Chains A and B, each alone.
Chain A
Amino acid sequence: MEKGGCFWVMATELGATAPASPDLRARARTVFVLSLLAAAVSVAVCPLVGGSGLDYGRVWAGQAPDWPILINLRLPRALLALLAGAALSGSGAMFQALLRDALATPSSLGVTAASALGAVVAIAFFPSETSWFPVVWISALAGAGAVIALVAALSRSHKRFSAFTLLLTGIAVNGICSALILLLHSLAGITKAFQITHWLMGGIAAVEYPVLALLALVIVPVNIWVLRLARVLNVISYGEAWAAGRGVDCRSVTLRGFIAGTVLVGTTTAVTGPIAFVGLIVPHLLRRIVGPDYRLLLPASIFGGGAFLVVCDTISRSVLAPVEIPVGVATALLGGPFFVWILWSR
């Protein structure tokens, strides 16, 4: 706990006296409704904005090409950004509690790198003329699955399994996967190398509605399960000794939390590629607004992360239109300086 403790203090220093909280339920309801509203507004408004302006009259009348552009391209893209942002930000907040490290991100366990390696293997070894896209998804999911298998194997050993061991294992997995990705990238031909680079930049693309439904079927229930962990995550952030003394089976919660986070991040990364920063900065920024209680922070992070990625994606496809910049660039360039400003301004 001592390791991450200073960061918790840093991230939540609001003065010696915290505001009174006579009704936590009412505050939680307000945070839930406001963050849900922010997510809904972002999905409703952002698709209407873009480099090539829509004719709203035609959209209203359901006429081509504006209506199909909105419904078949921009809306599914916004919905994908919402789901991906919710998954990355929710799992980021959860990992920060489980690892008791405010710098933890969804990629801390090596899930993102393993998914990326899976995708790169598929791109490198499957002929690009065929329909390789679903193969890339499946292979990326297999990469995330390998990390789940690794965590499950570690959990069989009482002595080796701890949040700290998982964090170190994640660092090792990240290193190994990055090395293998570099190796495949250097051995691939120029076309494949370009495809690999493009995938590794991460991005939100228009996907079919059935794909969105499939993603939602995974992300929504897992996020609901994570939300139900909120009170226990509060206590785990005190340290395992205190939490265990209050009746929390830390080993079981850590294992289940890691598997849930891996499913969220693996599924998202398979479709969007790696998107940096969302899982780190969104929970941090929101912690300063709603406080450290995970009963408020988790819903705010899930919906707030979704809204943030929808806005970032809109900027990434609009600011240099018709050229699109990778959404990961937008999240880092928007969130990074803001994050530094917050740290320096305390």
Chain B
Amino acid sequence: MSLLRLVDVSFRYPGAPAVLDGISVEAREAALVAVVGPNGAGKSTLLDVVAGLKRPEAGRCLVNGLDVNRAGRDEVCRMVAHVPQQTPSGIPFTVEEVVLTGRIPYGRGLYENEEDHEAMEQAIARMRLEEFRRRRFDSLSGGEKQRVLLAAALCQQSPVLLLDEPSAHLDPENQAQLWKLLGELRDMGRLVLVVTHHLALAARHADRVWVLHHGKLAADGAADAALEPELLERVFHVPFHRYVNGEGRVFLGYGH
């Protein structure tokens, strides 16, 4: 059974052109997949559809065999953890409390149990949040908030993790840490889909790259094959250059 399978998925907002147009793609096993494409290509919508937050007008989305549009939200969220692009604001809770929201799919009792607290401790340790675990979420910087939200998603302990531009607010050190962590999660058996505009990081770290263009899957393959300069130039309308160093590492540059 595939971890993720999208079958001819289309989505459009009322009266607008299709945001996703007949996308079929499959991820059989754990992988770190970068989803790239220009603004408006449908990247975030694709993650929303996989998370069951948007219902496609056609097609099916199966996570571990579970149809995300037919199953209950609890069940879906035990399979898929989604970190949206926009950071919630005006949250009066502490870092620990925000991380514990990842345990909601596991029980609706009034209080979290020991297992929930264990999962929170692991997520806090993995995201290195110990020093501000009792600080109010709203008092953190953008990058720190991003790490807290990622910890909440980890606390959800789902086999599929969807991250929408997770490195947008992170400094270079934390970006490197994040991609290293995503690689570790992949090694632990998770499928990680990351929407990103950092093509160079995607080329370096991702096992697979999905290039979206006008709601269609323009390329799907290993980073060095999918991030092909001619395709990228057609998609992003700027010339791309690719260099491979002596160790076989791929570097991407763009511009005239």
Are B51 and A245 in contact (CB-based, < 8 A)?
A: yes
Chain B count of residues within 8 A CB distance of the other chain: 38
Are B138 and A242 in contact (CB-based, < 8 A)?
A: no
- Provide the A15-43 mask, 1 if CB < 8 A to any CB of B, else 0: 11111110011001000000000000000
Question: Known contacts being A17-B136, A238-B101, is A6 close to B108, with CB within 8 Å?
Answer: no
Asked if A210 lies at the interface with its beta carbon under 8 angstroms from chain B, I say: no
Are B134 and A246 in contact (CB-based, < 8 A)?
A: no
Are A1 and B136 in contact (CB-based, < 8 A)?
A: no
Are A244 and B90 in contact (CB-based, < 8 A)?
A: no
How many angstroms from the CA of A18 to the CA of B136 in the assembled complex? 6
Tell me the nearest residue of chain A to B132, going by C-beta: A17
Are B110 and A1 in contact (CB-based, < 8 A)?
A: no
How many angstroms from the CA of A247 to the CA of B101 in the assembled complex? 10
Asked if A318 lies at the interface with its beta carbon under 8 angstroms from chain B, I say: no
Q: Which residues of A contact B90 (CB under 8 A)?
A: 1-2, 4-9
Segment of A65-73, A228-236, A306-314, A320-328 engaged in the interface with chain B: A228-236
How many angstroms from the CA of A346 to the CA of B109 in the assembled complex? 35
Are B73 and A248 in contact (CB-based, < 8 A)?
A: yes
Q: Which residues of A contact B92 (CB under 8 A)?
A: 8-9, 11-12, 237, 291-292
Segment of B75-83, B206-214, B234-242 engaged in the interface with chain A: B75-83
- Provide the A196-237 mask, 1 if CB < 8 A to any CB of B, else 0: 000000000000000000000000000000001011101101
The listed residue with most A CB atoms (<10 A of its CB), out of B89, B94, B102, B110, is B110
Asked if B74 lies at the interface with its beta carbon under 8 angstroms from chain A, I say: yes
How many angstroms from the CA of A7 to the CA of B92 in the assembled complex? 10
Tell me the nearest residue of chain B to A244, going by C-beta: B53
Are A242 and B88 in contact (CB-based, < 8 A)?
A: yes
Asked if B84 lies at the interface with its beta carbon under 8 angstroms from chain A, I say: yes
Residue among B89, B94, B104, B138 making CB contact with A246, cutoff 8 Å: B104
- Provide the B81-105 mask, 1 if CB < 8 A to any CB of A, else 0: 1111010111111100110011011
Are A20 and B134 in contact (CB-based, < 8 A)?
A: yes
Tell me the nearest residue of chain A to B74, going by C-beta: A247
Tell me the nearest residue of chain B to A24, going by C-beta: B111
Asked if B157 lies at the interface with its beta carbon under 8 angstroms from chain A, I say: no
Are B77 and A247 in contact (CB-based, < 8 A)?
A: yes
How many angstroms from the CA of A19 to the CA of B133 in the assembled complex? 11
Q: Which residues of B contact A249 (CB under 8 A)?
A: 72-73
Are A241 and B53 in contact (CB-based, < 8 A)?
A: yes
Q: Which residues of A contact B70 (CB under 8 A)?
A: none
Residue among B82, B104, B111 making CB contact with A295, cutoff 8 Å: B111
Q: Which residues of B contact A15 (CB under 8 A)?
A: 136
The listed residue with most A CB atoms (<10 A of its CB), out of B51, B89, B92, B97, is B92
Tell me the nearest residue of chain B to A16, going by C-beta: B139
Looking at the assembled complex, report how far the CB atom of A289 sits from the nearest CB atom of chain B, in whole angstroms: 14
Residue among A9, A159, A246 making CB contact with B101, cutoff 8 Å: A246
How many angstroms from the CA of A4 to the CA of B94 in the assembled complex? 19
Are A241 and B86 in contact (CB-based, < 8 A)?
A: yes
Looking at the assembled complex, report how far the CB atom of B194 sits from the nearest CB atom of chain A, in whole angstroms: 16
How many angstroms from the CA of A6 to the CA of B92 in the assembled complex? 10
Are B89 and A293 in contact (CB-based, < 8 A)?
A: no
Q: Which residues of chain B in 144-177 are interfacial with respect to chain A, using CB atoms and an 8 Å cutoff?
A: 152, 156
Asked if A239 lies at the interface with its beta carbon under 8 angstroms from chain B, I say: yes
The listed residue with most A CB atoms (<10 A of its CB), out of B74, B97, B135, B139, is B97
Are A228 and B53 in contact (CB-based, < 8 A)?
A: no
Q: Which residues of B contact A293 (CB under 8 A)?
A: 93, 97
Q: Which residues of A contact B76 (CB under 8 A)?
A: 247
Question: Known contacts being A9-B90, A246-B101, is A16 close to B84, with CB within 8 Å?
Answer: no
Are A232 and B91 in contact (CB-based, < 8 A)?
A: no
How many angstroms from the CA of A24 to the CA of B98 in the assembled complex? 15
Are B134 and A247 in contact (CB-based, < 8 A)?
A: no
Are A246 and B86 in contact (CB-based, < 8 A)?
A: no
Q: Which residues of chain B in 101-153 are interfacial with respect to chain A, using CB atoms and an 8 Å cutoff?
A: 101-102, 104-105, 108-111, 134-136, 138-139, 152
Looking at the assembled complex, report how far the CB atom of A333 sits from the nearest CB atom of chain B, in whole angstroms: 29
Q: Which residues of B contact A6 (CB under 8 A)?
A: 90
The 3 closest A-B pairs by CB, nearest first: A5-B90, A247-B77, A247-B105
| A17-B136, A242-B101 known, 8 other contacts, Cβ within 8 Å | A7-B90, A8-B91, A17-B134, A17-B139, A25-B111, A238-B88, A245-B51, A246-B104
Using a CB–CB distance below 8 Å, which chain B residues touch chain A?
A: 14, 51, 53, 72-74, 76-78, 81-84, 86, 88-94, 97-98, 101-102, 104-105, 108-111, 134-136, 138-139, 152, 156
Using a CB–CB distance below 8 Å, which chain A residues touch chain B?
A: 1-2, 4-9, 11-12, 14-21, 24-25, 28, 159, 228, 230-232, 234-235, 237-239, 241-242, 244-249, 291-293, 295
A sample of 27 cross-chain residue pairs with beta-carbon separation below 8 angstroms, ordered by A number, consists of: A1-B88, A1-B89, A5-B89, A7-B90, A8-B90, A8-B92, A16-B136, A17-B139, A18-B93, A18-B94, A18-B134, A20-B134, A28-B111, A230-B110, A231-B109, A232-B104, A235-B101, A239-B88, A241-B53, A241-B86, A242-B101, A245-B83, A246-B105, A246-B152, A248-B104, A291-B92, A293-B93
